[in-house]
C-alpha cells in the first residue's frame, strides 16, 4: 500500500509540474489554436491573468482519469465487464446530478434546444459504447497496453476537430499523431507475440473500438455543451449511458450476475464510478471553455498515472520496446500542445 501511495503522490506531483509548464506557456499554446482578434485578446488575457481555469480543470481530469482505470481493473477480476459498467454508471449518474442541483443548473433544462439535446444524446451513446469496449478490453488484456491504445484516440480527435470544429492542424500536431500511432504499436506488438490467440486479438479489437468512440465523444460533447452548464451536460449524457449500459446487461442476460459480485470488487467499481464522475465534470468544464485539440491531449496524459499504478499494483512490467512506445505516446501528446 505504501508503494501505491508513493507513486500516486509522484503522479500528482508530475501533473502539477506539467500544469505549471503549460500555465507559463499557455499564451503560446492558445495563440496556435486561435487566430485574429480572438487570439490576440486571449494572449493579452493570459499574460495579465495567468493560467485560465479551464487548464486547471483539464489537469484535474487527467489525474482522476489515471486512477479510474486502476480502480476499474481491480473491480473486474471476477465481475463481468458489462455488469461493472452498468453499476459504475449508476454511481456517476448520482454524482453528476447532485452537482447539478448543488450548482442550480437544473433551471436550464427547459431552455435546452433540440440541437443541444441531440448532440448530448449522441455523445452519451458514443460514451456508452466506449465504456463497454474499454472495460471488456481491460478484462482481457494488460492495463498498460489497453490504456495506450485507448489514449491513441487523441490523434483521431485532433483530426476530427480540424474538420468539424475548424481547429488548426499544424506540423507539430501531425508529428504528434505519427508518434502516437508508432508508440501504441510498439506497446501492443510484444503482447501479440507473447500470447497469440483469439482472446488476445479480442482485447485489441475492443481497445480500438474504445478509442474510436472516445474520439466521437469529445467532438459531439464539444458541440453539445456549447452554451450549456457543463454539469448539466454531463448529467444528461450519463442518463443516456445508463440506459445503454443496463440495456446491454439485460440483452445479454447477465442480470443474474449482480448477486455474485464480490464485496471488494463492488467497492472498487464504485470508486471507479466516483473517479469517473469527477474526471468527466472537470473534463467537460475544460472542454466548454478551452479548445478540444488542447484539452483532449492533456486529458490523455493520464496514461502516465495508469502505467505507474499498473506496475506497482498489478506488477505489469514494461519491456524496453514498450517503454519506448510509452515515451513516444507521451511525446506525441506533448507535441500536439507545442507551438
Q: For residue 107, give its domain range.
A: 2-335
What confidence category does residue 316 fall into, taking pLDDT thresholds of 50, 70 and 90? confident
The secondary element (H helix, E strand) that includes residue 250 is helix 230-251
* 270-310 tens-digit pLDDT: 999 999 888 878 887 887 778 776 787 777 677 777 777 77
Q: Could you tell me the pTM of the whole model?
A: 0.67
191 pLDDT exceeds 70?
Answer: no
- Rounded to an integer, the average pLDDT of 116-141 is 89
> Considering only 78-82, 187-191, 283-287, which range has the smallest mean pLDDT?
187-191
Asked if pLDDT for residue 312 goes beyond 50, the answer is yes
CB atoms within 10 A of CB 274: 17
Q: What does the mean pLDDT of the chain come to?
A: 77
Neighbours of 193 (CB within 10 A): 8
Q: Is the predicted pLDDT of residue 148 greater than 60, yes or no?
A: yes
Least confident of 245-249, 251-255, 331-335: 331-335
Structurally, the chain folds into a number of domains equal to: 1
In the predicted structure, residue 29 carries a pLDDT above the cut 70 = no
User: Residue 43, Cα to own-chain centre: how many angstroms?
Assistant: 28
Write down how long the chain is: 339
Q: How far apart are CA 261 and CA 135, in angstroms?
A: 16
pLDDT at 177 (0 to 100):
77
Q: What is the pLDDT of residue 17?
A: 45
What is residue 185's predicted lDDT score, i.e. its pLDDT? 77
Cα–Cα distance measured from residue 127 to residue 232, given in angstroms and rounded to the nearest whole number:
16
With 80 as the cut, is the pLDDT of residue 326 above it? yes
Asked if 75 contacts 272 with a C-beta cutoff of 8 angstroms, the reply is: yes
Would you give the distance in Å from CA 62 to the centre of its chain?
8
Amino acid at each position: 500500500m505504501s508503494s501505491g501511495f508513493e507513486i500516486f503522490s509522484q503522479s500528482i506531483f508530475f501533473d502539477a509540474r506539467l500544469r505549471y509548464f503549460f500555465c507559463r506557456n499557455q499564451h503560446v499554446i492558445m495563440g496556435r489554436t486561435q487566430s485574429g482578434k480572438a487570439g490576440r485578446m486571449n494572449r493579452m488575457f493570459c499574460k495579465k491573468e495567468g493560467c485560465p481555469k479551464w487548464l486547471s480543470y483539464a489537469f484535474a481530469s487527467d489525474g482522476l482519469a489515471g486512477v479510474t482505470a486502476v480502480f476499474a481493473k481491480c473491480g473486474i477480476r471476477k465481475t463481468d465487464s458489462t455488469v461493472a459498467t452498468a453499476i459504475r454508471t449508476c454511481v456517476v449518474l448520482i454524482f453528476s446530478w447532485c452537482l447539478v442541483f448543488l450548482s442550480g443548473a437544473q433551471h436550464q433544462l427547459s431552455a435546452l434546444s433540440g440541437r443541444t439535446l441531440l448532440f448530448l444524446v449522441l455523445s452519451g451513446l458514443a460514451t456508452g459504447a466506449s465504456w463497454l469496449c474499454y472495460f471488456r478490453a481491460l478484462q482481457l488484456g494488460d492495463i498498460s497496453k489497453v490504456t495506450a491504445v485507448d489514449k491513441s484516440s487523441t490523434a483521431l480527435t485532433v483530426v476530427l476537430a480540424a474538420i468539424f470544429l475548424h481547429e488548426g492542424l499544424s506540423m507539430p500536431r501531425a508529428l504528434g499523431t505519427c508518434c502516437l500511432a508508432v508508440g501504441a504499436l510498439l506497446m501492443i506488438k510484444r503482447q501479440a507475440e507473447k500470447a497469440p490467440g483469439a482472446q488476445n486479438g479480442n482485447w485489441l479489437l475492443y481497445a480500438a473500438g474504445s478509442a474510436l468512440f472516445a474520439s466521437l465523444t469529445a467532438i459531439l460533447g464539444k458541440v453539445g455543451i456549447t452554451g450549456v452548464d457543463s454539469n448539466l451536460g454531463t448529467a444528461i449524457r450519463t442518463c443516456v449511458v445508463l440506459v445503454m449500459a443496463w440495456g446491454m446487461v439485460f440483452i445479454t442476460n447477465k442480470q443474474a450476475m449482480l448477486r455474485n459480485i464480490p464485496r471488494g470488487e463492488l467497492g472498487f467499481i464504485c470508486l471507479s464510478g466516483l473517479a469517473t464522475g469527477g474526471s468527466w465534470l472537470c473534463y467537460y468544464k475544460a472542454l466548454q471553455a478551452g479548445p478540444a485539440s488542447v484539452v483532449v491531449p492533456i486529458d490523455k496524459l493520464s496514461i502516465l498515472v495508469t502505467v505507474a499504478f499498473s506496475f506497482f499494483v498489478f506488477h505489469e512490467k514494461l519491456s524496453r520496446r514498450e517503454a519506448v512506445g510509452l515515451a513516444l505516446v507521451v511525446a506525441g501528446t506533448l507535441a500536439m500542445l507545442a507551438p
